[in-house]
Chain A
Amino acid sequence: MFTSLIKAFTNLFKKPQTIDYPLTPILKDKEYRGLIEYGEASCIYCLKCEKACPPGSILFVPVENPPENEKNKKGLQYHYNPYLCIYCGECVRACPKPDEALWQSNKKPSIAIKSDKVNEDWFVLEKLKKEE
C-alpha cells in the first residue's frame, strides 16, 4: 500500500513514454527499410528486380523517349510505385549492381492524395506491360 502510494506519486513527475511527434522528430536508424531508389546511369536493364518484386511494384515499360543508356536496347523506362511496394528489399538483393543502380533508403513515401492519381496512372502502366 505504502510503496504503491510512493510509486503513484513519483509517476506524476515522470516523462510520458510517447514521443511528442511533430515537435520532436522520431529517431531513424539508417538501416531502416524505406523507399527503393534507382540510379539510371548504372542500370544495365537486366530486369531482375522486376521479376523478383513480390507485389510487382517495379515495371519497365517501353516509352517513346527512353533514357539514353547504351544498355537500354528495348527503349524501356523504369517505374516504381511506392504505395504498392512492401519494402522487403528483394529487388536490391536481386540487382547485379546494388548501391549503384538500385538501393534501399530509409525515407518514407509522401502521402498520396486523390489528385495524384497514383492508382489510375499505375493501372495504365500495368496494362501496357500486359500488352507487351
Chain B
Amino acid sequence: MSKKTINIPLGSQHISLLEPVRFKFECENEKIITVDSDVGFVHRGIERACTTKFKFDAIGYVVARVCGLCAITHSLSYTAAIEKLLGGEITAKSKYLRILLLELDRIHSHMLCLSHTCENAGFEAMFMRIMGDRELVMEIQELLTGNRIQFDYISIGGVNRDISSEISKKIIANLYEVKQRALGYMDEFTNNWSLSLKFKGIGALSLDDAYMLNAIGPLARASGLNIDVRNEIEYLPFDEVGFKMQTHRDGDINARNLVRLNEIINSIEMCNNILEGLPEGAIFTKLKGKPKGEAVIRFEAPRGELMYYVKGNGTAMLERVRIKTPTFSCIPAFSHIFVGENYADAPAILASFDPCLSCTAK
C-alpha cells in the first residue's frame, strides 16, 4: 500500500506567527516530508525607492524603516557604506556610541525572540515576564535616542545625539537589572521542563548541515559554527569592547535559546565596557562630496549577517542599493530543519529561528 501524504499550510496568517510567512508542509501522518516556503508578503519596494525617490543623505532614514527590530543595523550598514565611498573618518566616540546602540538593540531583539519561544511552548507567564523586563532596555534606548523604536540615531558622519552622565548612569543601572533577570532566565531555560527538556533534540541542525546550507547568526552558532561578523570586521572596534563568540554544540531549540541568552549577557558586558571607557570628543564630523563607486558592508544584525551593497555615480541619487538580510540567507537551513520533525513542533521551531519577514521582503 502506498503511503498517503497530506498538505498542511502554516501561514500566511496564523496565531503562532508574528509576521506573514507561508510554509506548505507535506506530511505523512505527523512527520513533515517536504517544505515549501513563501516569504514575500510584506514587500514594500524599499530598494527601488532608495534609487528613485530619495537622495543619498536621506536613505539612512529610509532603510531604517525596513525593520523595526534591527532598524539600527540597517541604518548603520548604509551609513558605513556611504562613509566608505565618501572616504571620511568618523570620530572614536561616535564609533563607540554606535556599538552601544547596536548592542542594546541586540539585547531587546533577543529578549523578544526568547519571549516568543516561551509563548509557543505554552509558557504564557514567562512570555509576560520577559516582555516586561524588555521594557528596561526599551526605556534606556528611548532616553538615549529620543524614540522607542525608530531610533534615527545614526547619520552620515557620526551620531545625532550625545550621551549625558545621567543617561549613562541610568543605562548602567538598568543593564545591571537586566543582567540579573537574564541569569534568572538562564536557570529557567536550562531547568524548567516546559522550556528545556521539551525543546531538547527538537529542530536540530548539525554542524555540517549548518556549514553546507549557509546558516548564519544564532542559528549557526547554536550548531557550533564559529561565524559572527563582529569577529571579522574592522570599522568598528568590537574586539576592544570585549566581544566573545557564543557557541553551543547541540543545534536544537534549547541550544539556540542558550546562545541568545549568552549573547545578551555578553552584550551587557560590552555596553558596560563602552560606558566605562567612552572617549571624549566630537560625535559628528561633516563629510563632503557625493558617493561614487561601489561599496559592500557587512554587519552582525541580531539575526545574523546583514549585507549592504551601494553603488553611486557621483550624483545625489544612487544607482543601486542592495540589501541582503539574515533571514533570507537562512531559508535553506530553515527548510532543512523542518524535514523529519512533527507538524505540531513547527510553530516552536519557527519561533526559535527568530525570522524577520519585513526584513526579508523589504
Contact = CB atoms under 8 A, between A and B. Distances in A.
B147 A33 contact: yes
B174 to A, nearest CB: 14
Contact of A86 (B143, B146, B152, B155): B152
Interface string A86-127: 111110010000000000000000000000000000000000
A87 B160 CA distance: 12
Contacts of B147: 32-33, 87
B62 A90 contact: no
Nearest to B146: A33
Interface string A41-76: 000000000001011000000000000000000000
Q: Which 10 A-B pairs have the closest CB atoms?
A: A54-B58, A33-B146, A88-B152, A17-B132, A54-B61, A32-B146, A33-B147, A88-B61, A31-B146, A29-B143
B124 to A, nearest CB: 13
B190 interface: no
B196 to A, nearest CB: 16
B42 to A, nearest CB: 19
A33 B61 CA distance: 15
B329 interface: no
Contacts of B145: 33
Classify chain A's interface size: 10 to 19
Contacts of B146: 31-33, 87, 89
26 contacts: A17-B135, A29-B142, A31-B146, A31-B161, A32-B142, A33-B145, A33-B146, A33-B147, A33-B152, A52-B57, A54-B58, A54-B61, A54-B62, A55-B58, A86-B152, A87-B146, A87-B147, A87-B152, A88-B61, A88-B152, A89-B152, A89-B160, A90-B58, A90-B61, A93-B155, A93-B160
Interface string B140-166: 001101110010100100001100000
Contacts of B160: 88-89, 93
Contacts of A90: 58, 61, 155
B54 interface: yes
Contacts of B143: 29, 31
Contacts of B54: 54
A107 B132 CA distance: 26
A55 B61 CA distance: 9
Contacts, number: 37
Given A17-B135, A31-B146, 12 more contacts: A31-B143, A31-B161, A32-B146, A33-B145, A33-B146, A33-B152, A52-B57, A54-B58, A54-B61, A55-B58, A90-B155, A93-B160
Contact of B61 (A29, A32, A86, A93): A86
Interface string B206-239: 0000000000000000000000000000000000
Interface in A1-32: 17, 29, 31-32
A87 B152 CA distance: 9
A29 B152 CA distance: 17
A54 B61 CA distance: 7
A31, A54, A55, A88, most chain B CB atoms within 10 A: A88
Nearest to A52: B57
Contacts of B161: 31
A66 to B, nearest CB: 28
Nearest to A31: B146
Contacts of B58: 54-55, 90
Nearest to A54: B58
Contacts of B152: 33, 86-89
